[in-house]
Amino acid sequence: MLSKTPQFDALLDVILEKLVPHMKECRQRDISQYCEGSFAIEADDIDFYKMLRVPPPTLCPTCRHQRRLAFSNYSHIYKRKCDVSGHREMMISAVAPVMPWITYDYDTYYSDVWDPRDYARDALPNDSFFSQFLELEKVVPQPGVRRGADSPNSDYSFYGKHMKDCYYVFGGRRNEDIMYGSSIYDCTHVVDAYYIRHIDVGYEHVGTHQMSKCFHAYFSSNCVECDFVYDCRNCQNCFGCANLRNKNYCWFNEQLSKEEYQKRRKEIDLGSQATKLEYQKKFWNFVRSQPVCATRVLQSVDVTGNDVRSSKNCHHVTQVEDGQNLKYCHFAIAGMVNSYDMGFGGKAENIYDCQNTGTSSMNVRFSFAVKETTESDYLISCSNCTHCFGCIGLKNASYMIFNKQYTEEEYFKKVDEIKSAMLAREEYGEFFPMSFSCYAYNSSLAQFLFPMEKSEVLAQTLYFQDETDVDLSNLQILNPNDLPDAIEDFTEEMCSKAIIGEDSGKPYRITTRELEFYKRYKIALPLDTPLERTKRRFALLNNFRIEKDHCASCGKEIDSAYRSSDGWRPYCESCYQIEIL
Ligand SMILES: [Zn+2]
Ligand SMILES: [Zn+2]
């Protein structure tokens, strides 16, 4: 087939043809404290770069991960002035007030009253692509809230679609009545959760799947009516357990009779703050005393990573389901195929170095928040596009560069010039710089995994949102000590007061709907802000990091999501199978 970008292809072939497996220095090694320094370009990587027609990366996998994560905000909501002309309201926005981008309220952004094509401009191939893109980004409106269709009564929810009655939920599909969570799929009646699928009635869940009426559940699946379970599967009526399979009536891993279990369970009221704290502590001490499976990989072939299910040939990945031929992908569910360096997406093919990209997309590179899109590079917030390059905010478009329409023939000619010049300047092949994110560094996921002080953030010319001090002078304050021990004694009237987080020292409130949930299921109140709770859940995932460690049983070197140096006892898969199960 004749190349439509012959000049670029010839230049790229020169680079790719002489490429052999080697170690490479990361360009950021002296800039970032998290940089790996040097990294390997392996034979299968080279095959992938040839297939996707890209040069090899100049950043190590960790620096690339950090750069993409700076584009995802899964935790922070602000009040920000709406930039629609004539609007004066303060709106709900994931874009922090400090950010310079033109930001529209949800209703206006997803309406036809503005047209991204109005911002069209010429592309100058010999000038820096990124500088030109930044000029475009400064004027095209961004959404304060990203949310798909059909989400009634879910104004405070982001990214997801088909969300009903959801509050402070970041990402997911087909949910109803969820409060404070992220990456939630097909769930109902859940509070405080991350990365859960098919949960009905749950509180404080991380990495769970197919569970019903379970409270305080971590990395477990197919359980019913359990409290405090860690890596348990197919269990019913278990309390304070870890690493169990197909059990009933276990109490801190001890088998009880049904009668004895019911008697003990009845004596415990988790609606009492003191009791909840006591068992929380006991549970985590117990979990820490037990071996853990170093990485959880289920029904998969040829996989290195953690929390992977039904996948094949995936390496250096976390939270992947139905994936095939993936590398350096984090949170890719619903069938991601032949892709590298992708975060928070799904159902897509041939994707390279993208964030929040999926929903039937194919052959997309270096893009953020893109869906139903094919054959495109460097897009932000675009849907249903094909053959677009360097565009923002487009819907149903093709053959566009910097939001300007071209004929098919003109498009390829122009793209060939741009990509060739970019390749010569070593621009082509790089995701957007972190400073192009619409989110402040410290409101993005990058801050959870790769935390930086304000001075460091500013030194890298990134944005930092100072905490907006809540004026407490007019608010009635409840200190943790003022809270009633029993959940029944926390009155609806107390919902109007600010509680001071026990560790964060920051104020938060309990909504009446939340209170109703805690009372119905007899759960004592959370003692810190939703943000603090989110941070703790991410910490339980070792912040997506897989590192080299040693099996606590046989001593062999393993990839582990758990650090021996933090007191965990990670087991390799065979020791876990033999000794634990
Ligand atoms: Zn690096
Ligand atoms: Zn072992």
For residues 116 and 392, the answer to whether their CB atoms sit within 8 Å is: yes
Kindly identify the ligand whose nearest atom is closest to the C-alpha of 577: 2
Work out whether strand 404-405 and strand 507-508 pair parallel, antiparallel, or are unpaired. Answer: unpaired
Kindly identify the ligand whose nearest atom is closest to the C-alpha of 556: 2
Output the CA 578–ligand 2 centroid distance in Å: 9
Kindly identify the ligand whose nearest atom is closest to the C-alpha of 554: 2
Kindly identify the ligand whose nearest atom is closest to the C-alpha of 67: 1
Cα 174 from Cα 189, distance rounded (Å): 12
In order of 215, 343, 413, 439, 491, the CA distances from 512 in angstroms are 20, 35, 60, 30, 9
pLDDT in tens, 494-528: 888 899 998 988 889 999 999 999 999 999 999 99
CB-side neighbour CA atoms (13 Å) of 541: 24
Of 98, 29, 541, the closest CA to residue 318 belongs to 541
Output the CA 67–ligand 1 centroid distance in Å: 10
Output the CA 345–ligand 2 centroid distance in Å: 33
Cα 504 from Cα 84, distance rounded (Å): 35
Output the CA 555–ligand 2 centroid distance in Å: 6
CB-side neighbour CA atoms (13 Å) of 65: 22
Work out whether strand 248-251 and strand 254-255 pair parallel, antiparallel, or are unpaired. Answer: antiparallel
Output the CA 550–ligand 2 centroid distance in Å: 8
Work out whether strand 398-401 and strand 404-405 pair parallel, antiparallel, or are unpaired. Answer: antiparallel
Kindly identify the ligand whose nearest atom is closest to the C-alpha of 450: 1
Output the CA 240–ligand 2 centroid distance in Å: 25
Cα 185 from Cα 195, distance rounded (Å): 8
* pLDDT of amino acid 42: 95
Kindly identify the ligand whose nearest atom is closest to the C-alpha of 65: 1
Name, in order, each residue with C-beta under 8 angstroms of 236's C-beta and a sequence gap of 6 or more.
223, 224, 225, 226, 247, 248
The token duo for 447 is 């801050």
Output the CA 542–ligand 2 centroid distance in Å: 20
The single-letter DSSP state of residue 418 is H
Output the CA 31–ligand 1 centroid distance in Å: 8
Cα 243 from Cα 227, distance rounded (Å): 14
Place of tokens 């409840």: 478
pLDDT in tens, 297-330: 989 999 999 999 999 999 999 999 999 999 999 9
pLDDT in tens, 362-376: 999 999 999 999 999
Which pTM does this prediction carry?
A: 0.91
Output the CA 544–ligand 2 centroid distance in Å: 22
Mean pLDDT to the nearest integer, 457-480: 84
Q: Which residues pair with 238 in a beta bridge?
A: 250
Cα 450 from Cα 568, distance rounded (Å): 22
Kindly identify the ligand whose nearest atom is closest to the C-alpha of 26: 1
Cα 255 from Cα 246, distance rounded (Å): 12
Output the CA 242–ligand 2 centroid distance in Å: 18
Kindly identify the ligand whose nearest atom is closest to the C-alpha of 575: 2
* pLDDT of amino acid 184: 93
Kindly identify the ligand whose nearest atom is closest to the C-alpha of 63: 1
Kindly identify the ligand whose nearest atom is closest to the C-alpha of 35: 1
Output the CA 34–ligand 1 centroid distance in Å: 7
* pLDDT of amino acid 499: 92
- Sign of dihedral through CA atoms 358, 363, 369, 372? negative
pLDDT in tens, 118-150: 999 999 999 999 999 999 999 999 999 888 778
In order of 202, 289, 308, 445, 472, the CA distances from 227 in angstroms are 10, 18, 24, 29, 36
Output the CA 32–ligand 1 centroid distance in Å: 7
* pLDDT of amino acid 123: 95
Output the CA 562–ligand 2 centroid distance in Å: 14
More confident residue, 497 or 223: 223
User: Could you tell me the pLDDT band of residue 173, with boundaries at 50, 70 and 90?
Assistant: confident
Of 378, 373, 371, 324, the closest CA to residue 345 belongs to 371
User: Could you tell me the pLDDT band of residue 161, with boundaries at 50, 70 and 90?
Assistant: confident
Of 369, 287, 358, the closest CA to residue 329 belongs to 358
pLDDT in tens, 51-106: 999 999 999 999 999 999 999 999 899 999 999 999 988 999 999 999 999 999 99
Output the CA 59–ligand 2 centroid distance in Å: 33
Cα 260 from Cα 267, distance rounded (Å): 11
- CB atoms closer than 10 angstroms to residue 22: 11
Output the CA 7–ligand 1 centroid distance in Å: 30
For residues 184 and 171, the answer to whether their CB atoms sit within 8 Å is: yes
In order of 30, 55, 208, 295, 563, the CA distances from 303 in angstroms are 32, 25, 20, 10, 20
User: Could you tell me the pLDDT band of residue 485, with boundaries at 50, 70 and 90?
Assistant: very high
DSSP reduced 3-state for 280: helix
Query: How much is the mean pLDDT over the chain?
Result: 93
* pLDDT of amino acid 1: 67
Output the CA 220–ligand 1 centroid distance in Å: 34
Mean pLDDT to the nearest integer, 212-234: 97
Is residue 251 pLDDT above 90, yes or no? yes
Cα 38 from Cα 476, distance rounded (Å): 54
Can you list the alpha helix ranges (DSSP code H) found in 388-511?
Answer: 408-424, 445-449, 454-459
First-to-last alpha carbon distance for the chain, in angstroms, is 55
pLDDT in tens, 325-360: 999 999 888 889 999 999 988 889 999 999 998 889
Output the CA 481–ligand 1 centroid distance in Å: 46
Output the CA 22–ligand 1 centroid distance in Å: 16
Work out whether strand 161-185 and strand 209-218 pair parallel, antiparallel, or are unpaired. Answer: unpaired
* pLDDT of amino acid 469: 66
Output the CA 541–ligand 1 centroid distance in Å: 22
Phi, psi of 384 (to 5 degrees): 50, 50
* pLDDT of amino acid 579: 83
Name, in order, each residue with C-beta under 8 angstroms of 248's C-beta and a sequence gap of 6 or more.
235, 236, 237, 238, 258
